[in-house]
Amino acid sequence: MTNSPKTSDDLFRLLDELKIAHKTKHHPPVFTVAESVALRDEIPGGHTKNLFVKDKKDRYFLLTVEENAVVDLKTVHTILGASGRVSFGRPEKLMEYLGVIPGAVTVFGAINDTGHNVTFVLDSDLMKEDIVNGHPLSNDATTSVTRHDLLRFLEATGHTPLVLKVTA
C-alpha cells in the first residue's frame, strides 16, 4: 500500500528546505484554465496547463505548458520519444503517481512520484517566463516560483525534466 499523498504544507516545507522562494495565492477552486483566467491580474508570470499522458508501453509523462498553448496529441509522441501515440492517463494513476485529482494536476506533483513513474516535460516556451505558476497539489491555490527554482525542485525530487518544444 502506498503512503498517502503529500499535502501543500509538505510541498511548502520542501521548498523552504531547498531555499526556494515561493508565493502562494489562495482562491476558490478552479478546474479549468478558463476558470482561472480571472486570477491573472493578481498572479504574475507564466500560468500552466498540465497534461498527464501515457504511451503504448504505459510510460507516463506530465506535459507542463503555458495555459493557452496547444499540444497536438496526435504528434507529440514523436517529440517525447514515446512509444506510439499518447493518450490521457487514468485518474487512478494520476492519484497513485502524482497524488492529485483531475483539475489539480501540477508539476509540483513530482513530490509524490517517489517511484519515478512519470517523466516531467516542461515546454520550452513556458521556460522563457521568469516566474512559473502551478497548483500546490490542490486547485484552491496557485504557487509561484522562478523557472530556475522549478528545475531545482524537480531535480530535488529525483526527476530530470525534459525541456522540449511540445506546443504547436
Name which CATH class applies to 8-164.
alpha beta
pLDDT at site 37: 77
CA distance 49 to 64: 6
Is there a contact between 11 and 98 (Cβ–Cβ < 8 Å)? no
pTM: 0.94
pLDDT at site 30: 81
**Average pLDDT per run of 10 along the chain, which is 168 residues long?**
83 98 92 76 89 97 95 95 94 97 95 97 97 96 97 98 95
pLDDT at site 121: 98
pLDDT at site 107: 98
The three state secondary structure string of the chain is CCCCCCCHHHHHHHHHHCCCCCEEEECCCCCCHHHHHHHCCCCCCEEEEEEEEECCCCCEEEEEEECCCCCCCCCHHHHHCCCCCCEECCHHHHHHHHCCCCCCCCHHHHHHCCCCCEEEEEECCHHHCCEEEECCCCCCEEEEEEHHHHHHHHHHCCCCCEEECCCC
pLDDT at site 40: 75
Query: What single DSSP character describes residue 81?
Result: T
Q: Domain residues of the chain, as ranges?
A: 8-164
